[in-house]
Every structure is written in structure tokens, then in C-alpha cells.
Amino acid sequence: MKATIALTAAAALAAKASAACFSQRLGYPCCSGNEVVYTDNVGKWGVENGNWCGIADAPAQATCWSLSQGYPCCSSSNAEVWYTDASGKWGVENGDWCGIPTGTTGGSTGGSTGGGNVTPSNEQYTISGNPFKGVEFYINPYYVEEVDGAIAQMTDSSLIAKAEKMKTYSNAIWLDTIKNMQSWLESNLQGAQSQHQSSGKDILTVFVVYDLPGRDCHALASNGELLANDGDLARYKSEYIDVIEGHLKTYKSQPVVLIVEPDSLANLVTNLESTPACADSEKYYLEGHAYLIKKLGVLPHVAMYLDIGHAFWLGWDDNREKAGKVYAKVISSGAPGNVRGFTDNVSNYTPWEDPTLSRGPDTEWNPCPDEKRYLEAISKDFKSAGIKSVYFVSDSSRNGKKVDRKHPGEWCNQTGVGVGARPQASPVSGMDYLDAFYWIKPLGESDGTSDESAARFDGYCGHETAMKPAPEAGQWFQKHFEQGIKNANPPL
């Protein structure tokens, strides 16, 4: 390979070591033993610590043509070609060279499984109505691993039992950087297809699309990798959305829900005038949404939900009226793509119902002081604004117990947290526009660091009711997780 883009030998060896067995590409660990519990067209599977694992001698891994040269196989036969030589076509994943599978069987040029890949089905799944209904929810293997790590730090048997139950519930997979999207999207689509092949049921996977240029313009703790400029918008389109589109077109036999860019459009409703970073990001938020809706909203097995903040963000009458206009404009800009509906309370703590609150000074005269009243009101506003498909997914991962916050706008690592209603379709009688309660923000993953010297420190994470010390956003926060499962409502 050309010296200008060649990797070091050390990096190649590291890449080879990291691909020790086929299941790592599907988001599952390698087994330490070799007891076979299940075999599918991917390889042989075992169970360790309550989790599926791949047995390292799976034949699919041995046929990858690039392994003999010290490089792993790329995760997809559709990977971008960076270089071609006599051996074959080369791609780059996670900063390492990888061999692109040829799709042929036998020989030294690679197997049809692509180093452990599930062969995509040609069947086309079509979502009709509520995508959460009549399906089995995919279990996020990364979260299972996180919870296993949390259990290893516990000694209380009752707490361990609650944590074990957490592993049985589905939550969303966050594609919050280009690298994480490359690592997690296809591997979990393959995992869902494998789960379908073993159970015979349709498997719904939920992903959070979260990498807009200038992301989270009104906060610091969750700022993204892409800046609000034309060059990074081009990257967002070509390196992020286009790649997502390609994988979704390949794995079309199972339903997928996309939670789209939390906090972005809500910031355009309320923070354009007060926050210069939001004014700078407006163009890129609008163009980014238009592009992704056009690309992903036409896929029949995909349902998209745009984020609408929460009750104490857009709940006031004037905010809801303005939101109707903003969201109607965004959706029309993405034609012919479709949007199923909207998601509320993502990564927040607002209770589903709070009968102790009403419109008055304690709520700053908000007529919607809980998520139920918020959705009841905004559903009417959105329909009045001309939006045709108005359905909701409400994040119930951390609102089971009313938290200790002194102001309902507090959002960072709140004390008193409790996991809420379990993921379920059509959970409330008489609210046919509520598609699901679902755990979008995984309990235990931090909202942001409390370290005031950190570059991404946000003042909200230093407030009185924010639990401390807290790690960076997305990193595991053991104390917050333990409090959340202790306060679970309903109890675990």
C-alpha cells in the first residue's frame, strides 16, 4: 500500500488482535470457553455472565482474506474503497486498514460472511402504523456489558437483582460520532437480523441520530465533533447520513426507529436570539434535517421521530405555537421523505404525570407541567400547523420518580432519579397518538461532567441538585445508576 496512507505495523497488529472472533463485529464479546449453546450462519455462540458471546474458532473468521496479512476484515462488503492492490480492495475502519470482503465463497479471497457478518436478507419489511407494536425489541449488547460492569462493583444482593433485570429491557443505541456510527450501526443491524433468525420474530432496533454540525448549541456538556460550517455539513451528509442510508438499505428486512437529533429543533424555537451559537447553527440544523428526511424518510422499514424537547422547554402556549411552524417547515423541506412523529423528554427527568403541579407561579405559568399534558397540548398544535403524522415516543428511562431539582429546567445528572415505565407500545389507554414509552437515554450514562476545569463543563452540572462527582457525558456513572434502580417506578 502507498506509503502516504500506510498504517504502522503496530496498528495493524492491534487491529488484528481486536478482531479475535466474529462476534465482536456484532457487538458481542468473545467467549473465554468453547461450550456451544447455539449455532447460526454466523458461527457458534456461547453464553457467559448472562450474555451471548462468540466462540473464537468460528469458521467465518478464518476465511477473511486480509487476516493472513495481519489486517482484519471490514465490517461490510459495501465499505468505502480507499486503496486497491493485488490482494484486493482495502477500506479503513477505526483508523485501521481492513480488507473488504469479496462476497465469494471458499479460497483465500474471503468468505460470504465477510469475517463474521450476517448475510443481509432480500426481504423488505414495511412499517404500517405504530412501529413498536407487534414486534420484539432488540437488546442493546453494549448496555448489557455496561450493566455487567456495574454489577461487578456491587455487593448488595437486592441491588444486583435489580441490575440484572435492567439487562432484559431494550434501550436506544446512540450514533453520536461518525466513528461510533461506523462501529455500532451495522453490527447491531446484523445482531437484530440474527435475533430474528433465531426467534422467528420481527426485531425492532432503535437508534439515535445525533451528530449535527454545531450540535447542542445551548449546552456545553454534549457539544459534538462537527462545527457549524459548510465543510462539516458536507461531512455530516457524506460521512454520516449517507453511510447510515447505505446500511439501512442493506439491512431492510427488520424494522428500525430513528430518534432524530435531540435538542436541535427545540433550540431553534427558543434560543436563536439569546444564544449566538444557536443562531450560527440554524442553517446547518435546517439543511441537515432536510437532507436526512429526504434520504431516510423514504425507506419503508424506517420510522423517524423528531425531538421536541420536554414539557418545561416548549410547554408554554407561545412556544408550542412557534414550534408548530418550525416543525411543519422542517418536515415539508424533507419531502418526499416522511416523519412518523416526535419524541419528548429525551435524556430528561420530567414525570409523565405530576398531579402536584398546575399552571401557576411554581411552574412559571406553564400549562403543561408534565409530559402527558405536554403531549396532549402539542399534538393539537401540530395538527393545527398542518403536520399530518403526529405520534409520539416518550422517554421514560429516568422519570419514574420526581427528582430533587429546584427548577424544572435542571437537566444534568439529577439526584433522586428513578427509572420509569418499561419500554412498551401503546402504553396509555385513550392516547392512540402515543406510540410508545421507550428508554432512549440509557440509565447510568452521565449527562455531563461536574469538573469545572473540563473543556465541556456546563454550569448546570455544577448546580446543587446535580449529582457529583460526575464523569463526562456518555461515560458510566455508577452512583447515578444505582440510585436510579433503587428508585425505579414501577419497582424492578
170's CB contacts (< 8 A; 6+ apart) are 137, 138, 139, 140, 204, 206, 423, 438, 439
447 is catalytic: yes
Q: 3-state DSSP call for residue 422?
A: coil
- Sheet hosting strand 89-93, strand order edge to edge: 83-84, 89-93, 96-99
What cell numbers appear for 242 in the block? 449517507
Measured distance CA(32)–CA(52) in Å, rounded: 12
Q: Which residue among the candidates 176, 211, 216, 458 is catalytic per the annotation?
A: 216
Q: Which long-range contacts (CB under 8 A, 24 or more apart) does 14-20 make?
A: 14/96, 15/71, 15/72, 15/94, 15/96, 15/97, 15/98, 16/67, 16/70, 16/71, 16/72, 18/72, 19/61, 19/67, 19/72, 19/73, 19/115, 20/56
What cell numbers appear for 30 in the block? 468473545
Q: What is the DSSP letter of 93?
A: E
Q: Which residue has the cell 461536574?
A: 450
Measured distance CA(456)–CA(404) in Å, rounded: 24
Q: Which residue among the candidates 307, 381, 447, 458 is catalytic per the annotation?
A: 447
Q: What is the CA radius of gyration of the chain?
A: 23
What cell numbers appear for 315 in the block? 410547554
Q: Which residue among the candidates 263, 307, 370, 381 is catalytic per the annotation?
A: 263
Q: For the chain, count helices (H), then strands (E).
A: 13, 15
- 71 to 17, 89, 92, 245: CA distances (angstroms): 9, 12, 11, 27
Measured distance CA(304)–CA(50) in Å, rounded: 32
What cell numbers appear for 271 in the block? 434560543
Measured distance CA(76)–CA(86) in Å, rounded: 20
318 is catalytic: no
Measured distance CA(105)–CA(158) in Å, rounded: 51
- Which residues are part of the catalytic machinery? 216, 263, 447
